[in-house]
A and B are shown apart, each in its own frame.
Chain A
Amino acid sequence: MKDSRPFLRLKHVTFSYYSVTGETQALEDINFSVQKGSFVVLVGPSGCGKSTILSLISGLIKPVSGDITFYSEDFAAPRIGYMLQHDHLLEWRSVYRNIMLGLEINKIKTAENLAFIDELLEKYHLSNVKDLKPSALSGGMRQRIALIRTLALRPDLLLLDEPFSALDYQTRLSVSKDVYDIIKSEGKTAILVTHDISEAVAMADTVIMLTKPPCSVKGIIPIEFEKYGITRDEVRNSKLFQQYFDEIWGEMKNENTN
């Protein structure tokens, strides 16, 4: 059962980039909330400011105005994991040492955390590649390793910034499904950014549609395959998938034609 408590809320968030050529308003009055354990997908045209929203949520940059609030029972700051567009595995480190990067940085290379990494590698059938260099891995496998590296820090919230966009179509389908399964089985809350509507429908519990810059929320659509007894393995072949796709495309096509 999905927990219905709000986990994160963005309220009237605005953001601008400043340069010598002038100010560029990237975000204008962004409002949405994310439930604990849900998988939220942000869709919007390229360059609309989707990644900026993730950077704001992760705290890498600060909003010009508005509030970004996390709600938790123990009032502790949430741990946030961030997966970028490219895997950025460091080629001079073995796969295992790449996964340990976050633990090293946070100085938490404890026996418990190392055992957790081994458990993740074992669980997702990646133990056999842990001593290899990243250059020996395929693109899909590299992204799986990048996800394990993010999960190693046991984040409460996962931010996924178009992590499949650099993959070919077939690999993308299989890796996105694997990533979805891993995130769900670990019970994580996740926000994925993509401009691929079919990917959004296949993975989301909620799709948030964004406008072209300055970006604002155009609409929020709950994706409810489970309500109709459709499993995630079957979604792409269902009529409901096409209906959701058409609904989002209907809203978004004006945003893309510019």
Chain B
Amino acid sequence: MKTQINSSEGQKDYMRKAKLHKIFISFSRVLVFVGFLALWQTASSLKWIDSFYFSSPYAIAKLFVHDIHDMSLLSHIGVTLIESGISFLLIIIFAVIAASFFWFYPSLGKMFEPFLIVLNSLPKSALAPLIIVWLGTGPRTVILCGMSVGIFGCILNLYQAFEQTDAERLKLIETLGGNKLQKYTKVVFPQNIPTFISLAKVNIGLALVGVIIGEFLAGRQGLGYLIIYGSQVFKLDMVILSIVILCVIAMLLYGILNLLNRKVIARWQ
């Protein structure tokens, strides 16, 4: 059995240095962010830049407080979040079903693989006008746009991960008397859960990108709609505020999945 010693002076010193380094990195990140905001505000206040085009942190904060009070911003954020969440869940559900199906029936997997590669390489915004013609404007089109960005890559990656499952482990299940379904439930799926979480981390971002594209083109609500509307009426405070909120949403979603990833990896090792 492997043992770990946590009480020696050398170990304590190492842990202290590691902790200090972590604090230094976190502090530096905050400093870079605050420095950027300060420089932006100063440049705007001292007219180094035109605040009509570039806005300023203060103007954005003021708009944020105002729009939060009249609830309009929250409803747009909510719409984008719901559309992204639905797109993300549908990507994951379809990817798991399709990749599993291809693993059970490898000939089908080989048959569909080149088509998936082509669809994955296609710039997805090219599909958006078609989707609008088929489904009209509104949430259904936005959700489909959100799905289109990530789904083909997600299916391909998950299928390839399933295919690369250690053949000797599959042989082990066979030697224990297991069938193909048991190979899948006991080895293939559980072994690929870390891959699945990594794909989820990528696809939550891609779903958000797709939803914003969808809202640009076919939305009546949402942050993508606000960005397009703001740019058309030259309300650049609104555009930049929407972009900042998108950054925060992307960061939070990534953070949640990262936390989930760490918990899963810790359980898996």
* B172 pairs with A92, CB closer than 8 A: no
Contacts of B175 in A (CB 8 A): 58, 60, 80-82, 84
Decide yes or no whether B190 CB sits under 8 A from chain A: yes
Decide yes or no whether B13 CB sits under 8 A from chain A: no
Asked, given contacts A84-B171, A92-B190, whether A101 binds B176 with beta carbons under 8 Å apart, the answer is: yes
Decide yes or no whether A64 CB sits under 8 A from chain B: no
Decide yes or no whether B186 CB sits under 8 A from chain A: yes
| A80 vs B1: C-alpha distance when bound (angstroms) | 30
Closest to B169 in A: A88
Decide yes or no whether A257 CB sits under 8 A from chain B: no
Contacts of A106 in B (CB 8 A): 176-177
Decide yes or no whether B173 CB sits under 8 A from chain A: yes
| A235 vs B239: C-alpha distance when bound (angstroms) | 83
| A212 vs B1: C-alpha distance when bound (angstroms) | 39
* B269 pairs with A135, CB closer than 8 A: yes
Decide yes or no whether B27 CB sits under 8 A from chain A: no
Decide yes or no whether B267 CB sits under 8 A from chain A: yes
Q: Which of A92, A136, A137, A153 contacts B176 (CB 8 A)?
A: A153
Decide yes or no whether B33 CB sits under 8 A from chain A: no
Decide yes or no whether A177 CB sits under 8 A from chain B: no
Decide yes or no whether A141 CB sits under 8 A from chain B: yes
Min distance, Cβ A38 to any Cβ of chain B, angstroms: 21
| A60 vs B177: C-alpha distance when bound (angstroms) | 10
| A135 vs B267: C-alpha distance when bound (angstroms) | 11
| A80 vs B174: C-alpha distance when bound (angstroms) | 11
| Chain A 119-154 interface 0/1 with B at a Cβ cutoff of 8 Å (1 = within) | 000000000010011011110010000000000010
Which residues of A63-122 are within 8 A (CB) of B? Answer: 80-82, 84-86, 88, 90-92, 101-102, 104-106
Contacts of B268 in A (CB 8 A): 91-92
* A105 pairs with B173, CB closer than 8 A: yes
* B182 pairs with A105, CB closer than 8 A: yes
* B1 pairs with A129, CB closer than 8 A: yes
Closest to B178 in A: A105
* B172 pairs with A138, CB closer than 8 A: no
Contacts of A81 in B (CB 8 A): 175
Apart from A90-B186, A92-B191, list 10 A-B contacts with CB within 8 A. Answer: A58-B175, A82-B176, A88-B166, A88-B172, A91-B268, A92-B267, A92-B268, A105-B178, A106-B177, A137-B2
* Selected A-B contacts with CB under 8 Å, 22 pairs: A58-B175, A60-B171, A60-B174, A80-B175, A82-B172, A84-B168, A88-B166, A88-B168, A90-B187, A90-B191, A92-B191, A92-B193, A92-B267, A92-B268, A101-B173, A102-B177, A105-B186, A129-B1, A133-B269, A135-B269, A136-B1, A138-B1
